[in-house]
């Protein structure tokens, strides 16, 4: 019997890295453009496209322009889109969110007419539509869970009826998935998926999104409904509950700082996991790249492969087109 110390010199992990093609041969993780989902900010009207100061190269656009961009993304192999609506007028009850002829139902119809094969997901929340910028109805300074639920259900119904393939509740109200699933079923809609923002943290990384959507809360913060970033086990419980309530896909959000939870969710649940690489992740990379401090393309590949390696099936990112272009050029 040889001593372990005799065998040791012959073990060389570096053999597995010795050439590009050997590295390709043993690579554990891969992903395709079809794993990417592109978020789109929609404004009402026609022919308008607006800059978002804290998200260079991302724009708010009217649906006629969004349609063209969906076409271009489809050509790159991106097959799914996550729509956010920014209404002309906001009010106390966020009525624009559940208006059958609101910005999102109209956009869904326009996009689906041109590209029926595009998988359209619609974010379901009130914060883009309320004056106060909170994700639910405010009663006596408190974000009221149960009066918000029927409004979220109405919004989900309006989007499903307009042709959305997926509705994506993001308000972090308890019972939102159940309320929406029941409302859809009572309306005879059985095929619409629910992708729940199950474990969504109260994150400083949403800042640029709130500029884009004009949804910064006018008072307080979102810490009474979005999760505390110190809690990982609680994230698992949130996902468990959403599964019991009828979610088809669950999400971890943000992605970059929360890879431990993507990984745990993947190990625990046999259901597609989405990871949302949020606006602040986009802007951090963009800002550093803009200054020449990092190589944008290399960082993007590292980020996306890491999210995939952690266990996400769906990767939601504002960089989807760029990543698809890099994949294509490889």
CB of 52 to ligand PBG, least distance (A): 11
For tokens 């995939």, the residue is: 308
Site string for ligand PBG, 89-108 (x = CB under 6 A): --------------------
Applying CB under 6 A, which part among 59-67, 209-217, 266-274, 296-304 lies near ligand PBG? 209-217
- Which lies closer to ligand PBG via its Cβ, residue 31 or residue 206? 206
- The span from the CA of 113 to the CA of 106, in Å, is 11
Q: What DSSP line would sit under 51-83, residue for residue? A: E-TTSTT-EEEEHHHHHHHHHHHHHTT--EEEE
Active-site pick, 200, 264, 286, 308: 200
Q: Which does 265 bind (CB under 5 to 8 A by kind): ligand PBG, Zn ion, none?
A: none
Is-catalytic flag, 253?
yes
Partner whose footprint covers residue 278, from Zn ion, ligand PBG, none (CB < 5 to 8 Å by kind): ligand PBG
Residue 284: how many CA atoms within 13 Å on its side-chain side? 14
Measured from the CB atom, the residue of 118 and 172 that comes closer to ligand PBG is 172
Nearest residue (CB) to Zn ion, 58 versus 135: 135
List the x/- string, 51-90, binding to ligand PBG by CB under 6 A: ----------------------------------------
Q: Within 10 A of 300 (CB to CB), how many other CB atoms are there? A: 19
H or E segment and range at residue 196: strand 193-200
Length of the chain: 330
Q: Of 90, 253, 264, 286, which one is the catalytic site residue?
A: 253
Nearest to 215 by CA among 55, 85, 323: 85
The candidate with the shortest Cα–Cα distance to 104, out of 147, 154, 143, is: 154
Identify the DSSP state of 175. Answer: T
Selected from 66, 106, 127, 247, the binder of ligand PBG by CB under 6 A is: 127
Q: Does 143 bind Zn ion (CB under 5 A)?
A: no
Interface pick for ligand PBG out of 179, 195, 239, 278 (rule CB under 6 A):
278
Asked whether position 274 contacts ligand PBG by CB under 6 A, the answer is no
In Å, how far from its chain's centre is CA 123? 9
Please say if 79 is a catalytic residue: no
- Selected binder of ligand PBG within 161, 210, 309, 322 (CB under 6 A): 210
Q: Which two tokens mark 235? A: 């994230």
**Interface residues for ligand PBG in 279-308 (CB under 6 A)?**
279
Nearest to Zn ion of 127, 168 (CB atom): 127
DSSP string, 124-170: E-STTTBSS--SSEEETTEEEHHHHHHHHHHHHHHHHHHT-SEEEE-
Instruction: Return d(Cα 113, Cα 102) in angstroms, integer.
Output: 17
Q: Under the criterion CB under 5 A, does residue 135 sit at the interface with Zn ion?
A: yes
Residue 171 tokens, joined: 């308000």
Residues 6+ apart with CB under 8 A from 101: none
Contact characters 100-129, Zn ion, x per CB under 5 A = -------------------------x-x--
Q: Which residues bind Zn ion (CB under 5 A)?
A: 125, 127, 135
Contact residues for ligand PBG, defined by CB under 6 A: 123, 125, 127, 135, 170-171, 206, 209-210, 215, 278-279
Active site residues: 200, 253
């Amino acid at each position: 019997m040889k001593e372990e110390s005799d065998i040791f010199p012959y073990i060389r992990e570096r053999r597995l890295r010795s050439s590009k093609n050997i590295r390709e041969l043993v690579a554990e993780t891969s992903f395709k453009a079809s794993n990417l989902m592109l978020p789109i900010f929609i404004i009402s009207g026609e022919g308008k496209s607006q800059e978002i100061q804290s998200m260079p190269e991302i724009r708010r656009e009217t649906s006629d322009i969004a349609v063209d961009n969906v076409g271009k993304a489809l050509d790159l192999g991106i097959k799914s889109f996550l729509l956010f609506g920014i209404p002309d007028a906001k009010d106390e009850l966020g009525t624009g969110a559940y208006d059958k002829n609101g910005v999102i139902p109209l956009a869904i119809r326009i996009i689906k007419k041109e590209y029926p094969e595009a998988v359209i997901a619609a974010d379901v929340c009130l914060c883009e539509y309320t004056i106060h910028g909170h994700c639910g109805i405010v009663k006596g300074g408190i974000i009221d869970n149960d009066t918000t639920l029927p409004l979220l259900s109405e919004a989900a119904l309006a989007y499903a009826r307009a042709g959305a393939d997926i509705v994506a509740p993001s308000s972090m109200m308890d019972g939102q998935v159940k309320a929406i699933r029941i409302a859809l079923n009572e309306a005879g809609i059985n095929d619409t998926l629910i992708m729940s923002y199950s474990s969504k943290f109260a994150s400083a990384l949403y800042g640029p999104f709130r500029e884009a959507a004009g949804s910064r809360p006018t008072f307080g913060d979102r810490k009474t409904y979005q999760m505390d970033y110190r809690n990982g086990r609680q994230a698992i419980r949130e996902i468990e509950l959403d599964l019991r309530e009828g979610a088809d896909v669950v999400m971890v959000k943000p992605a970059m700082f929360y890879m431990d939870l993507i990984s745990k969710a993947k190990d625990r649940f046999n259901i597609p996991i989405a990871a949302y690489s949020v606006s602040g992740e986009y802007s951090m990379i963009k800002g550093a790249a803009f200054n020449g401090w990092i190589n944008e393309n290399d960082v993007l590949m590292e980020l996306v492969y890491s999210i995939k390696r952690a266990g996400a099936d769906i990767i939601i990112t504002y960089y989807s087109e760029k990543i698809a272009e890099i994949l294509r050029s490889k």
